[in-house]
Amino acid sequence: MTPYPPQPWTLVADAHVSIWRVPARDVHPGALSVAGYTSVFTAWIAYREPGQLSYHELLAAVPVRGKRTTCTITQIWVDSEVSLAGGRELWAIPKDLAALQFTDRTCTAATGDDWIATAAFTPRPGSPLALPSRFDVLQDRGGTPVRTPVGAKIRPGLAAADWTINARGPLGYLAGRRPFLSLSLPGTDLRFGA
């Protein structure tokens, strides 16, 4: 077993987020929906020092019912065995390993089987202020809900995003679609867990 830090994890990240409108039936049975559609949040995240861990991540999440803003992570890939083990064991997050490459504006993800997605982001000027944010991540561990609080200080800025998604891959339900909103979140401070 790979050792991982106890919770909470204190992390620093540079992230690119895209939000998509997708038929709820294509994503997750518990996703909140309006007129049969839900929002899917995809994020490319580069965790870095001075946070506890440094690694890369691609995830997809959907909004679900909760006492406050709550999401369920439906798919997630990391390039760190420490993150994979901690995410699964502490919070029941279904992390898988992938080869993730990040440059200033371009991100790619692939597994040993096939490529998942690529995306290029062009950030627009963002907020000079760090805005506080709180939400919960709700996962399922064998029928038992696992709720994890997350606190963040974000500096959001609009971004243009150009995605290419493998239609045969795990994010294939997004292939051929365009996100309706994309953001860049540089220098995000995160506290993940209780």
Q: Which domains does the chain have, with CATH numbers?
A: 9-192 (2.40.400.10)
Structure tokens at 98: 């992938």
Torsion angle (degrees, nearest 10) of CA 83, 156, 159, 115: 10
pLDDT of 49: 97
Residue 1 confidence class, pLDDT cut points 50, 70, 90: low
Q: How far apart are CA 104 and CA 116, in angstroms?
A: 19
Number of residues that this document lists for the chain = 194
Residue ranges of E strands in 49-105: 55-63, 70-78, 95-97, 99-102
Q: How far apart are CA 43 and CA 56, in angstroms?
A: 10
The pLDDT tens digits for 32-89 are: 999 999 999 999 999 999 999 999 999 999 999 988 899 999 999 999 999 999 999 9
The phi and psi torsions of 21 (rounded to 5 degrees) equal -105, 120
pLDDT of 105: 87
Q: Please spell the DSSP secondary structure of 9-56, one letter per residue.
A: EEEEEEEEEEEEEEEGGGT-TT---BTTEEEEEEEEEEEETTSS--EE
pLDDT of 131: 81
Single pTM value for the model: 0.94
Q: How far apart are CA 160 and CA 18, in angstroms?
A: 9
**Geometric angle at alpha carbon 93, from 49 and 169, rounded to 5°:** 95
pLDDT of 130: 76
Other beta carbons less than 10 A from residue 83's beta carbon: 25
Question: C-alpha distances in angstroms, 66 versus 15, 54, 131?
Answer: 24, 30, 22
